[in-house]
Amino acid sequence: MLYNGPITTEGRPQKRGFLILRIEVSVRLKDKVAVITGATAGMGRASAVLFAREGAKVIMCGRRKKLGEEIAKGIREEGGEAIFIQADVSKSEDVKRVIKAAVDTYG
């Protein structure tokens, strides 16, 4: 969720308790496409969110479809680009499908 509340004179969001609600979107990875495996938990999920915040178009894959779609939706709601493909990377056909989706979607 993008922060649209009070901003301090330094251009930073005001804190509400210990939570800062502003999410900055960078452009360090603008025009890059990232394929993130294991994107429904742990490092994979954190990487997908971080890459999207840095401007990358993210292809997320993992085994848990509902959770993956929720994470991708959250990224899109924050202004990022992300799609989720259910896949098990131990299966070569699933990996081929993920790569095909990446090429078909982002070239």
- Residues 40-86 have pLDDT tens digits of 999 999 999 999 999 999 999 999 999 999 999 999 998 999 999 99
Helix or strand or coil: residue 89? coil
Q: What is the pLDDT of residue 24?
A: 55
Q: What is the pLDDT of residue 107?
A: 87
Judge if pTM exceeds 0.75: no
Residue 23 and residue 77 in contact, taking contact as beta carbons nearer than 8 Å: no
Residue 25's pLDDT band (cuts 50, 70, 90): low
Q: How does 38-74 read in b/e, with b if 16+ C-beta sit within 10 Å?
A: bbbeeebbebbbebbbbbbbbbbbbeeeeebbebbee
